[in-house]
Structure 1
């Protein structure tokens, strides 16, 4: 891995950590998780923007397959790897953390997968597309929880955030995701990158199942409340 990319990853870890500490200082009355979700939302917005800016050919955004990574693609990956390292460490310091096994596996697979792309310096287009697919729904994921802490739990606004998150996640992860995984698996990529692509898709499928259950629970709860009203 190139020295300047390693330095960018270290700088990204420092930057995300500094942003978290700044938010904690500015918003002391809100929870640790609230501050971390604001950092995560900032990263998701930046990552989606950078992944779009790294596209070489809009007629085929993930082309050429298994090609050498461009500087923009490597920088996009490095910033996200830095965030994932920060988030993995940050979550362990939260006493109210709800981190579970599938989230830990997701972080691990993502760090190894993106790290492999940086180490091999190839598959940049596919990696950038992966970041877009995995982060496009993240702002709505965090919005759901932020609204709860702001006092909007079980409101129409919170339900709208739930539905938007479920829809965007489902289209990105279960339509775009399988196609991207297929392209990565069939192209001339290193075995480690192929393994991580498959692993990430399996995690996405498991989360898709959990999201379907969440949406069903939300609408059932809403219907029951209306009947009792």
Structure 2
């Protein structure tokens, strides 16, 4: 994939994600700015996982060949995700959702993918990392969208929370460390190694927050259930 093709893909991608957001805002005007952005984010996560899956050269060894020249399919997958990340950074600024952890995640991801596209190397490892990081994203956005749709503190919302936490844990805390180890062990550029390690550290930080969130949700659910049962006995 030529450099001009990468730039064109990123440019068209940024415009496309922006137009998708504008359309979502027009269609779902009764809901929040963040609701529309989450719809776009869900679309990207689904597309990213699909493209990443299609770009795998050998499913018997998904990360092979390691530290190799990226294929055109891998370059395209990374360019599409880079365009989304650029869009999302701007969208977060306009939406007022600029947290430290989210900003660090965006910067690491943008720097890492840009390095991968520049060196045209480490395509297998980077596409693998993209696959595991985006696997849980639709469920993250689902649990937040359910709250806005009026399903906060319901069994449906709790099920979405558990599903998201489970997929995140397996993807980012089981598969993620292995991909990070492979990336650091192979003969990859230092910039890519640093970004891979940084992304895993952010994932670990988010994992701790998710564990605390699930403890709180399950405890709250249990207390509510017991409170209802106690009230029924009093009646």
Residues 184-223 of structure 1 aligned to structure 2 (within 5 Å): 184-223=183-222
What is the match of residue 180 of structure 2?
Answer: 181
Correspondence 1:148-167 to 2 at 5 A: 148-167=147-166
- Post-superposition Cα deviations, 1:132-154, rounded to whole Å, max 9, x if no partner, equal 00000000000000000100001
Deviating 4+ runs (over 4 angstroms): none
> Matches of residues 132-147 of structure 1 in structure 2 within 5 Å?
132-147=131-146
Deviation, 1:226, is: 1.4
TM-score with structure 1 setting the length: 0.98
Deviations 1:163-210 (A, max 9, x none): 000000000000000000000001000000000000000000000000
Distance 1:4 1:61 in 2: 25
Displacement after TM superposition at 1:67 (Å): 0.3
CA deviation after TM superposition for structure 1 residue 116, in Å: 0.4
TM-score scaled by length of structure 2: 0.95
Q: Within 5 A, what are the aligned runs for 1:80-95?
A: 80-95=81-96
C-alpha distance in 1 between matches for 2:37 and 2:212: 25
CA distance in structure 1 between the aligned counterparts of 2:125 and 2:113, rounded to whole angstroms = 10
Say which one has the larger Rg: 2
What root-mean-square deviation, in Å, do the aligned CA atoms of Structure 1 and Structure 2 show?
Answer: 0.8
Give the structure 1 partner of residue 29 of structure 2: 28
SS in 1 for 2:88: helix
Unaligned runs of 5+ in 2: 229-235
Report how far residue 26 of structure 1 moved: 1.1
Q: Give the CA deviation at 1:33.
A: 0.2
SS in 1 for 2:151: coil
